[in-house]
Chain A
Amino acid sequence: MPTKHLLRIENLHHSFENEEVLKGISFSLDKGETKVIVGPSGTGKSTVLNNIIRLVPPTRGKIYLEDTEITSAKNINEIRQQIGFVFQDFGLFNHLTAKGNVMIGLTKVKKMDKNEAEELALFELDRVGLKDYANSYPSQLSGGQKQRVGIARALAMQPKLILFDEPTSALDPELTGEVLKVMRNLAEEGMTMLVVTHEMGFARSVADELIFMEGGNIVEQGDPEKLFTDPDHKRTKEFLFQLTNLYGEGEK
């Protein structure tokens, strides 16, 4: 099937112990696009992301990375190298410095030369504004700094796209800004990103498309401005209104 989509998800289903959390999700992502998934907790937003890199294998449905069908691909580890993942709880390796965290995937998975890996790691840390913290251990970093290391680690693998699983929801409000700024820059540089977040300001100003999910289904998707101001569904309006009230406009 000819396609220009970078990532295409078709009729994705997922069940946890008889409970269906995803009831047929389909959408696609083009190169350079940023899409944001919003929706109430427990709607399966994170499950979509976990399904894509098969940290949690999907129950049914197909996922394509470019032309490759990856839901049943044998070489999942190679595919994971091409898709970055940023965790809500950072997922930093606690025994490694910031630099070590960024390097380990390069040296152990990509078998890159150590010096080369170090150079790239420092470059990526610089990109997220953390060059000076290269030798700090995770416990010595603030939450925002940890998350930026997490982003640098994903970037260093030079992925085709990056998945963000609520990257700021474990952070104190005053620390979300620095992480969102890094993400905004990435979007502007043309990185392809799929973001699950409650940050409405970010969604509205950065996303090329907003996907509103509820109850395991996509209720509505489209231009964020339209969804915020004139959505087709009443639920979309209610939810976004509620969230904007709760979290504010966020950073502009």
Chain B
Amino acid sequence: MNNLELIKSALPYLLEGTLVTIQLTFWSLLIGIVVGLPIAFAQVYGNKILQATVAVYERLARSIPLLVMLLLLNYGLPMLGLRIPIFRAAVIGIGLRSAAYQSQIYRGAIQSVGGSQMKAARSLGMSKMKAFFYIIAPQAIRIAIPPVANESAIVLKDTSLAFTIGVVELLRQGEYFIATSNEPMVIYLTIAAIYFILTTIVNGGLSLFEKKYQIPGIGIEGGHSDAY
């Protein structure tokens, strides 16, 4: 079988896995937002105790490797009598990790808009809530887009770790196919190409969005994740 035919016959399985990868990414990012936003608010507007609690959470989520987290969730928790289905375990692990990074992004964005904007809004007689929604948020969201795009790509790539606890996502579908075809290189490269296309779409899509709503002079270079 030549490579092209091999890829052709593998593609349906790989695409099935891709779908699972996308689902993992979506749910993980959602958890990241749902948990990350309140954390950011707690950091910026919360009292000391709340801030300290949240800081501990961030330190933990940023220090424990995702792989260790996933193994703990999947193999460790059942020993305490808590058994979580693998897909959910993966989403919880990846999502909670991402929440810590996303909260940092949102916090940075809110803070970089600055207290003077809040003051100016309050001087017009806006409530704190109104000032946040009409003045702070519209600016903060724009600032947050590039790092959020970056974080989304990171989450997408990190979903490959779900492989280790048995989720049949893109990488594991590939493993299955390799077991029968014994052509690891071709399949892995195809998988890499699929990931590459997906991350390119994520980055490209969000940068399109960014361009449309851009404030001049703001842009953050993406890395693995910002700050430890």
* Complex: A in contact with B (CB within 8 Å): no
Give the interface of B toward A (CB within 8 A): none
